[in-house]
Structure 1
């Protein structure tokens, strides 16, 4: 087992953070381009949002394949091959002739992007000692947010120069270069014990996780929080592209620098959880997310940016702790347990556009805020139950 802060820990953590970064630059590069793509392909707000929704939905479905499969054949080859395919598909997106083919390529890309998230935390659970796992997961989740930031920044900047096609080419080339480095850095796990893949057993493992209340709570927490958080960013692009802001794609890309609040939130989450307990910190994360949403109601662009930064801090603090919660309480089949968390996570993201579209059409951004608070009140209730569970465990 790899001990915390050793040379082997740093190398493995660096590799997984790089892989996470590459996944999320590919997943989120279209988001600042949505208003421009909406005009270019003459589709509706909900229609162009499908570029995000189909990718996150197929990613979620892929987790059900890659998670159990990794318990049988190992995790390293899945991560390496799917990253390579993701980079190639980003290049293909640049040459999509119409909106339908663009959607199909995003569907395929979402599926291969599921390879690394499905198994990375399970890989850590196999390879790292428990203290090393908490700190590694915090950095890994932080790389998620950095990848999300970079995908939108690169996408917005490249689109300002050469349109959406240039954004996809830039991210595709970055991914192929980064993938070569990832292959070199990632060590083979020495403690992994393969299990023969049996469909019946895989389904039994998934059902077992779903029947475990302590895991189901984390799954619902991650899925609902992400449903709100990621789709707020989609609708804020439409708000800020319209009057009185009139931000172009490059300006909308800069909005996603607010994700840096999430990078900070995820990296400090482990230390905060050691002092106040994971469930208490998850509860605080949800409350912070609700408060940040209130700040975004201001008409001031500066306060909107502040509110989004607060949201990112709260969301990623809760998300990183919910991820490690699954790794801590899963009894066997960690690959499928971690994958199931991400299934809920990305299914939530894919459904968020449908949920928030109703509120957006009814009352614009104020409606989005009310739609957010309704669901966040549910996740706040979930954290109360998790906190009671922790207290029973400690007594």
Structure 2
């Protein structure tokens, strides 16, 4: 068992954070380029949005395979091979002709992108002590935000300077170099215990997780919150590319520095959980996201930047807490439990445009915010239910302990 602040813990945490950054650099590098791609291909907002949503959809579906597979064959090899495949897929994207080929390549990339997110937290659950895992998960989620920031800035700046192809080539080079470092840093697993892989067993395990009253609300919270959060940025790029803001890809990429609010939120999540409990922290995060979304209605770029930072802080505070909660509450099949959380998470992202696009066409940005608040009302209610259930469970435990002492 690896304990916090030991050299092995630092090395393993650094490796997993690096891998996380590489995944999200590749996933989000095209996002600030969406207005440029829409113009180049003469596509609609919904059609060009498939550049993002198809990758997240196939990433989500791949998790259904990676999670149970990792419970059978181990987690380290899956993470190493999938990261290398991501870099090669990004290199392919740089040279494909036409929008259809680009979308097909993003599908392939999404399949590769799922390897590390599906099993990283399960790897921690196997190898780290509970305290070490809580701290590592916060840092790992913070690395997600840094990868999202880095990918968007790299994509936007190089895209405006040298074009879309150069942007993807640069991301591929960074990914392949980082993958070699990841292979070197990640320690060998010591505590992993393989479980025979059977399709029927994997399906039964998934059904068990979905029926667990401590897990399924967290799955919905993660997926529905991400539906709102990630698509907020996509529609914001279209809003800010138009009058009166008229921002180009470089500035749209820099806009994602607001993700630093999420880096802070995920890093502080363990401290907040220690005070409020995990369900209470999720509820607080959702409330902060709602406030941040409301602030974006102000027609001021400086206010919008602050609002996005507030929203990112709340979202990642909730996300880090929910993903760690799943890792702790799953007593068996941690790989499949964590993977299932991410299935919901990325399905939410990929299906978001189907929910938000009609409101965007109807009322523009105001419609997007209204539709988002409806979704957050659902996740807030789910968090409140978890809070109440946890209080009831604690009260029962106290009653049992008290009766046993007499």
Same fold (TM over 0.5): yes
Q: In the TM superposition, what are the counterparts of 1:1-395 in structure 2 within 5 Å?
A: 1-395=1-395
Q: CA deviation at 1:331?
A: 2.2
What is the CA–CA distance in structure 2 between the aligned matches of 1:329 and 1:59, rounded to whole Å? 24
What is the CA–CA distance in structure 2 between the aligned matches of 1:324 and 1:241, rounded to whole Å? 37
Give the TM-score taking structure 2 as reference length. 0.97
What is the CA–CA distance in structure 2 between the aligned matches of 1:161 and 1:35, rounded to whole Å? 15
What is the CA–CA distance in structure 2 between the aligned matches of 1:166 and 1:174, rounded to whole Å? 12
Question: Which is greater in Rg?
Answer: 2
Q: CA deviation at 1:392?
A: 2.1
What is the CA–CA distance in structure 1 between the aligned matches of 2:167 and 2:390, rounded to whole Å? 46
2:402 equivalent in structure 1: none
What is the CA–CA distance in structure 2 between the aligned matches of 1:394 and 1:213, rounded to whole Å? 15
Q: Deviations over 1:148-200 (max 9, x none)?
A: 00000000010111111111111110000000000000011100011111111
SS at 2:194's partner residue? coil
Figure out how many residues of one structure are paired with residues of the other and give that number: 395
What is the CA–CA distance in structure 2 between the aligned matches of 1:303 and 1:124, rounded to whole Å? 38
Q: CA deviation at 1:394?
A: 2.1
SS at 2:85's partner residue? helix
Q: CA deviation at 1:134?
A: 0.5
What is the CA–CA distance in structure 1 between the aligned matches of 2:359 and 2:326, rounded to whole Å? 32
Q: Deviations over 1:109-154 (max 9, x none)?
A: 0010000000000000000000111100000000000000000000
What is the CA–CA distance in structure 1 between the aligned matches of 2:144 and 2:340, rounded to whole Å? 18
Q: CA deviation at 1:278?
A: 1.2
Q: CA deviation at 1:108?
A: 0.5
SS at 2:214's partner residue? helix
Q: Deviations over 1:339-376 (max 9, x none)?
A: 00000000000000111101100100000100100000
Q: CA deviation at 1:242?
A: 0.2
SS at 2:364's partner residue? helix
Q: CA deviation at 1:68?
A: 0.2
What is the CA–CA distance in structure 1 between the aligned matches of 2:228 and 2:163, rounded to whole Å? 28
Structure 2 alignment gaps of length 5 or more: 396-406
What is the CA–CA distance in structure 1 between the aligned matches of 2:9 and 2:185, rounded to whole Å? 11
- Bigger drift between 274-283 and 215-224 goes to 274-283
What is the CA–CA distance in structure 1 between the aligned matches of 2:135 and 2:297, rounded to whole Å? 35
Q: CA deviation at 1:5?
A: 1.3
Q: CA deviation at 1:277?
A: 1.1
What is the CA–CA distance in structure 2 between the aligned matches of 1:118 and 1:312, rounded to whole Å? 22
What is the CA–CA distance in structure 2 between the aligned matches of 1:42 and 1:33, rounded to whole Å? 14
What is the CA–CA distance in structure 1 between the aligned matches of 2:23 and 2:118, rounded to whole Å? 11
Following TM superposition, where does structure 1 have runs of at least 4 consecutive aligned residues deviating by more than 4 angstroms?
none
Q: Deviations over 1:295-339 (max 9, x none)?
A: 000100000111110000000000000001101111200000000
What is the CA–CA distance in structure 1 between the aligned matches of 2:332 and 2:392, rounded to whole Å? 22
Q: CA deviation at 1:14?
A: 0.3
What is the CA–CA distance in structure 1 between the aligned matches of 2:199 and 2:387, rounded to whole Å? 35
